[in-house]
Amino acid sequence: MTIVAIEPATPERWADLERLFGPTGAYGHCWCVYFRRRAKDFTASVSCSPDERGDSNREELRRVTLGGKVPGLIAYEGNEPCGWVSVAPREDFIRLSRSRSLRPTDPAEPDVWSLVCFWLPPRRRRKGMGSQLLDGAIEHARANGGRVLEAYPVDTAGGRAPSAEVYTGTVRMFRKAGFACTTHPDSGRPIARLTLKAD
């Protein structure tokens, strides 16, 4: 597979993002807004029917995208959107600041970006595209003022796990890309960090 471009999800690419996620909106109508919504708002969407949940989450991602914030990057093979990574300034992800297991140890630390999700259609998985999306996310964060890129991978101990369980990436993947992986002091969850610019 040849990816010719990894591009920011700007308003003019909203239709491509809809086409990539398809009618179910990736990961069961999530539309990659789990980390962008307060827990009570996301939980309220879960209590709806699947279609209503998808509509609510889709509308949130649409609002962010068409409002001019870039919620992530889209990979293209030719003109076909074929992969997604959600990366943005950490403050864009309200769920992180409120999470007991992932909240920042230094909330005032400046210019930290977060990578919270990858999504690939099933036929695109296990072909190295995740690593290409990660490389694109690093460059995007650096080019837009990020000083540190932070991620929240899953430690599979070198084994495999279902895609829906490793949507945040794996410790191995981030280490291979040069990230330092530690654990959150409160929860023990893996945290991966890469310095993008020297202080």
pLDDT of residue 157: 79
Rounded to the nearest 10 degrees, how much is the dihedral formed by the CA atoms of 8, 25, 2, 157? 100
Range of the structural domain that residue 49 is part of: 5-195
Residues of the chain with pLDDT under 50: none
DSSP per residue, 3-38: --EEEE--GGGHHHHHHHHTTTTTTTTTTT-GGGS-
Number of domains in the chain: 1
Q: Please state the pTM of the whole predicted model.
A: 0.90
pLDDT of residue 101: 87
The model's pLDDT over 58-105, given as tens digits with 9 standing for 90+, comes to 899 999 999 999 999 999 988 899 999 999 999 999 999 888 889 898
The CATH number of whichever domain residue 57 belongs to comes to 3.40.630.30
pLDDT of residue 127: 73
Q: What is the Cα 175 distance to its own chain's centre?
A: 17
pLDDT of residue 163: 61
Residue identified by tokens 């695109």 is 124
